[in-house]
Amino acid sequence: MKNYKFILSGGGTGGHIYPAIAIADALKAKYPQAEFLFVGSQDRMEMEKVPKAGYEIKGLWIAGLQRKLTWSNLMFPFKLISSLFKSAGIIRKFKPDVVIGTGGFASGPLLEMATRYNVPALIQEQNSYAGITNKLLAKKVQKICVAYDEMQRFFPQDKIVKTGNPVRQDLLAIDSLREQGMAKFNLKKNKKTLLVLGGSLGARAINKMLDRELQFILDQEVQIIWQSGQLYYEEYKKHNAVEDVQVLPYIDTMNLAYAAADIIISRAGAGSVSELMLVGKPVIFIPSPNVAEDHQTKNAEAIVSKNAAILLKEKEAEQQFKPVFKTLVHDEAKQQLLGDNIKKIALPQATEHIVNEVEKLLKQ
């Protein structure tokens, strides 16, 4: 068997980094002798996360454009030229068989140069609204793996394969972990459990809403697992003194938290949405409005259009949260319908399907 070489590029956020790592892990399991190299943006989180996962990474001097005139924006042309030259050097030296991009600014120069050197390339778009880097690369790569329908709005139809987003496989077994999850979080069996997620750093608007509506939620005979995020834990940990409330900076056993939950409130990043599809519980999405192209709202709308979740926009939360939550928590049939519908659109074998597409490129 040939000793294959793969370059993976994606970063800036966990939504781009973790899919790349999942794809690398699956390729490594299939080709134990293969060599891997990651390329990211220097000074971004991938420079820490990727080595922790056991892979070498090289950083490019690249960052996105800001919405206002800044020194960083003025430097962008120089950063882009530097990154293109460095990417060319990386490709010439490493000689990859396939290059894989999962979004983020570093993947732009790397895949651009890969296609110029005629290296087969694949991109994986996690969101329902394509990122600018992947839209620019679409005409040059051989294959585009997507997670949502109707992505021909952004990409050539003949290159699109609907695979879904890579997710943790331990979520496939959460139905059997209900009792373990209840015990882990010391929950009461006679109450519904609300799981609130704002990402590892936290979501200010969701935290403020929960702080404001805490007593109302508890009055519905609901107990709460509240992931506040590292940034906000000090501000909200005081609520741990309240019965039936657990405020945590981070949850390291998400499979057990999902298993114990009856209702979930979450942001709508691509990774979170894909996980929640597998979990199959009723979800209220409160998307972050502070992301490129408002893609979280579009992710949530794609699920809501299939009657598989509830969308509550941040600006509407103060007025709408109480009636929306009260109706859901007391309507067992609605909970069942949303849970069943979101699970129907899950794509649990996404990583395997993406690897299959990579293999096709190896054979070309």
Sequential DSSP letters for 221-241: TEEEEEE--TTTHHHHGGGGG
Write out the two tokens for 62. 């690249």
Token pair listed for 34: 């293969």
Known binding residue 168? Answer is yes
Query: 306 has which bridge partners?
Result: none
15 known member of a binding site: yes
Q: Residue 246, annotated ligand binder? A: no
Instruction: Give the whole-angstrom CA distance, residue 57 versus residue 24.
Output: 12
Annotated binding residue at 274? Answer: no
Q: Residue 307 annotated as binding?
A: no
Task: Tell me the C-alpha to C-alpha distance, in Å, between residue 205 and each of 214, 216, 309, 310.
Answer: 14, 17, 20, 17
Reading the block at residue 242, the tokens are 């309240």
Is 10 within any annotated ligand binding site? no
C-alpha closest to that of 219 among 329, 314, 318: 329
How far does CA 202 lie from the centroid of its chain?
Answer: 14
The reply to whether 178 sits in an annotated binding site is: no
The two three-digit tokens of residue 276, written as one number: 């929640």
Contact indicator for 123, 7 with CB cutoff of 8 Å:
no
Separation of alpha carbons 181 and 185, rounded Å: 6
Q: Which two tokens stand for residue 12?
A: 């800036």
Was 223 annotated as part of a binding site? Answer: no
Residue list for the binding site: 13-15, 127, 168, 200, 251, 296
Residue list for the binding site for UDP-N-acetyl-alpha-D-glucosamine: 13-15, 127, 168, 200, 251, 296
